[in-house]
A and B are shown apart, each in its own frame.
Chain A
Amino acid sequence: MPGLTIQNLRFSHPGSSFALQVKDLRVGAGSAFALLGPSGAGKTTLLRLMAGLLKPEIGDVRLDKTSLLSLSEAERRAFRLTQIGMVFQDFALLDYLTVEENILLPHCFHALGKNRAALADHARTLADQLGIERHWQQLAGRLSQGEKQRVAIIRALAHRPRFLFADEPTASLDATRRGQVMELLSRYTREQQATFILVTHDTDLIPLFPDHARVEDFTA
């Protein structure tokens, strides 16, 4: 089961009355979980807490057997780079780098034992599946929103993470592409026995996620 475990977590932004409180949330390996809610409700904040990008005031986030709070900043960064794949809402791509450079960028900064050539091959295969292969050497700044979103997804999956956190990964895609992406992410979760957390405001996706919750359930 391990996967993601959150217990007694509390978080608030300094000087804000808004607070998130998660008493108990578990998402097992090979499972997917959708976090729903309107814009500004705190979905992204909760996702960032799960990924270790934000530190809770109290409580802990455990990914498999690793407690994120017990890790140093550098260890948490290394953990994220090797074990977590993150699709950011704003894609987090650099316009002046090519698609290939954007996908491999995090791994260029860290010698984490990953075979960069194998990683690039895998990323290229994913790019082929998502129709991005022909843009491989193109600057990210010249891509459409939908293409950028697919590049962000490829970057999240390229290193075969055990945890996949996706923030509105289909927001800029048409229905066909949305289907392709969701199929890819679901298949990946099943095949890699990964833990997949999806944040979305798109209620059409609810049928795909029997296991889901509304973010309002976690606000204090």
Chain B
Amino acid sequence: MITAPLHLAWRYVSRHRLQTLLLAGALALVMALPLCLRVLVGAAESAMRQRASDTPQLLGSRGSALDLMLTALYFKRQPLPTVTMAHLHELRDTQLAEAIPLDARFHAQQTPIIGTEIEYFSFRHLRLAQGKMLTRLGDCVIGARVAAQRGLAQGGALFSSQEQVFDMAGVYPLKMRITGVLAANGSADDDAIFVDLKTTWLIEGLAHGHDDVSTRPDAVLKATPDNLIANSSVRMFSEVTDANLGSFHFHGDDSAHQLSAIIVRPKDAKSEALLAGRYQKSSLPVQLIQPIQEYDLLMSTLFQMEKLAYSILAVTLLAAATVSALVFTLSFRIRRREFSTLADIGISPRDLILTKAFEAALVGALSLLFAGLITALVQWNAAQWIRQMLS
């Protein structure tokens, strides 16, 4: 005969909805915290490990290896010392590895603009969902989430952001033509805008296009055999078009141009070892790292923190359980008269205990349900939140 105590408990709990929901909600939050933490750490692990293990080596400026990994793999926005195109040429000259340059210094609002070469797309197994790849200077291909969130598609356009707000005389934002949208692949690539490396130099101001000064003698202020100085009536182009493409030109030696990092794909294990040895010297301005090692280091730190967090949460859970027990004890004490009434009308002590136990169990079950819902919600969004945290 447990249906009567259960029914009585249910009637009490359902009649006192607000108190029940408050208590169950508080308990659910405490129960959900460790579960959510595990879900988030798990999502971070799966999101980061695959990308790290897919990237054999990274060349970047000497400094924080973790920052280098976060920038090159997850396009995390942070000031990072750069390497130069000279390092890229030097690496390629060794013929020990394929090298893919990355320039992640520029943004379109909050979205990273990644300057790279076409090999990057095959390296990351990125394919187009619509449109075509980069065909000329000023073109861009956007990640799936960028397209979805900003409502962009092939044929649309994007402006690069000015990196320094107070540099009024600096480089103007570049209007970039969207030639394609990448298919979603559940990585940081979904949240990025990809351009050719030369386009990032254009954004940086190392290249530019303007009216043909030779046809505008009225605009020439000073002419020397090597140089022409024109006045401000000469139009600078902020967009590359088929009509003005020919006017864009680069100044200086490209070996000094900066890069955020270089993805290194050694030809074989021997080449990998040789390269590791070559860049081992601490006197060099660059470092060659293995992302998976940095990842494991990061995860071991995270694991320690997770263990600490679990210890704290276990104490919190114990405190919450104690408070709940106190709440129930006080509630039953306040309702002493009610239980004595039940005893008077013939309810046995065993049934009274069962009724109280069912009340506690119903609140506990509701807490578990809420905790499950919270955890499911976190699980549902974990991958996206982790990507946002990393970008």
Binding site for B on A (CB under 8 A): 53, 74, 77, 80-81, 86, 88, 90, 92-94, 96-97, 101, 105-106, 108-111, 139, 155
In the complex, the answer to whether B346 meets A77 with C-beta atoms within 8 Å is yes
In the complex, the answer to whether A97 meets B1 with C-beta atoms within 8 Å is no
A and B contact pairs by CB, cutoff 8 A, 9 listed? A77-B346, A88-B344, A92-B341, A93-B341, A94-B342, A96-B16, A108-B7, A109-B348, A111-B1
In the complex, the answer to whether A81 meets B11 with C-beta atoms within 8 Å is no
In the complex, the answer to whether B347 meets A106 with C-beta atoms within 8 Å is yes
In the complex, the answer to whether A105 meets B345 with C-beta atoms within 8 Å is yes
Contact with A along B337-364 (1 / 0, CB 8 A): 0100110111110010000000000000
List the B residue with the shortest CB-CB distance to A88.
B344
- Cross-interface CB contact of B8 among A90, A105, A111, A139, cutoff 8 Å: A105
A77-B346, A77-B348, A97-B11 known; A109-B4 Cβ under 8 A: yes
- Inter-chain pairs besides A110-B346, A111-B1, A139-B15, 5 sampled, C-beta below 8 Å: A80-B346, A96-B12, A106-B347, A108-B4, A109-B346
* Shortest distance between the CB of A101 and any CB in chain B (Å): 7
Count B interface residues, CB 8 Å. Answer: 19
In the complex, the answer to whether B4 meets A94 with C-beta atoms within 8 Å is no
In the complex, the answer to whether A53 meets B344 with C-beta atoms within 8 Å is yes
In the complex, the answer to whether A92 meets B15 with C-beta atoms within 8 Å is no
In the complex, the answer to whether A106 meets B345 with C-beta atoms within 8 Å is yes
In the complex, the answer to whether A86 meets B347 with C-beta atoms within 8 Å is no
In the complex, the answer to whether B351 meets A92 with C-beta atoms within 8 Å is no
The B1-54 residues at the A interface (CB cut-off 8 A) are: 1, 3-5, 7-8, 11-12, 15-16
* Shortest distance between the CB of A155 and any CB in chain B (Å): 8
List the A residue with the shortest CB-CB distance to B347.
A109
In the complex, the answer to whether A81 meets B346 with C-beta atoms within 8 Å is yes
- Cross-interface CB contact of B1 among A106, A109, A155, cutoff 8 Å: A109
Q: Which residues of B contact A109 (CB under 8 A)?
A: 1, 4-5, 346-348, 351
CA distance A52 to B106 in the complex (A): 88
List the B residue with the shortest CB-CB distance to A48.
B344
List the B residue with the shortest CB-CB distance to A80.
B346
Q: Which residues of A contact B3 (CB under 8 A)?
A: 108
Q: Which residues of B contact A155 (CB under 8 A)?
A: 345
CA distance A167 to B3 in the complex (A): 31
